[in-house]
């Protein structure tokens, strides 16, 4: 394999690591939402932390070449797909009977 191919392989792996970080933090945030008194603050803080880590990493990995950011994004998406299959679809507590979309009944 050429040096360029090894470089793209490393960038792909780095994209997968970034994806694992991003989606693991997102999963923890969603799990904590029912318990928090300030869900908007939790969501915003989580978003800022995730973006503050992932976006500069993408920029550094890009190194001025569009091919590298495309491969990094590919690794990010592959990590997402793997985590979806690994974690599965979680069942969240359903709202009480008769409650739909935050309303307790006709007004």
Indicate the number of domains in the chain.
Answer: 1
In a domain, 19, yes or no: yes
Helices 39-62 and 3-32 cross at an angle (nearest 10°) of 180
In a domain, 98, yes or no: no
Q: How many CB atoms lie within 10 A of CB 61?
A: 20
From the list 76, 93, 70, 92, the residue with the least C-alpha distance to 24 is 76
What is the per-residue pLDDT for 93?
A: 58
Residue 59 structural domain: 7-87
Instruction: Return d(Cα 87, Cα 81) in angstroms, integer.
Output: 10
In a domain, 62, yes or no: yes
Residue 31 pLDDT class (50, 70, 90 cuts): very high
Predicted TM-score of the model (pTM) = 0.77
In a domain, 95, yes or no: no
In a domain, 104, yes or no: no
Contact 62/72 with Cβ under 8 angstroms?
Answer: yes
**pLDDT digits over 50-107, tens only?**
999 999 999 999 988 999 999 999 999 999 999 999 988 766 555 555 545 555 545 5
In a domain, 79, yes or no: yes
What is the per-residue pLDDT for 14?
A: 96
Question: Among 2-16, 32-46, 76-90, which is the least confidently predicted range?
Answer: 2-16
In a domain, 101, yes or no: no
Which are the contacts of 77, defined by CB distance < 8 A and separation ≥ 6? 19
In a domain, 23, yes or no: yes
């Amino acid at each position: 394999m050429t040096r360029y191919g090894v470089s793209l392989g490393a960038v792909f792996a780095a994209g997968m690591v970034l994806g694992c970080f991003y989606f693991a933090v997102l999963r923890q945030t969603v799990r904590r939402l029912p318990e928090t008194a300030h869900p908007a603050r939790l969501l915003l803080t989580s978003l800022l932390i995730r973006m503050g880590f992932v976006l500069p990493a993408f920029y550094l990995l890009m190194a001025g070449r569009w091919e590298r950011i495309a491969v990094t994004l590919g690794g990010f998406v592959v990590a997402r797909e793997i985590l979806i299959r690994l974690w599965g679809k979680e069942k969240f507590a359903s709202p009480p009977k008769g409650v739909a979309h935050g309303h307790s009944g006709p007004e």
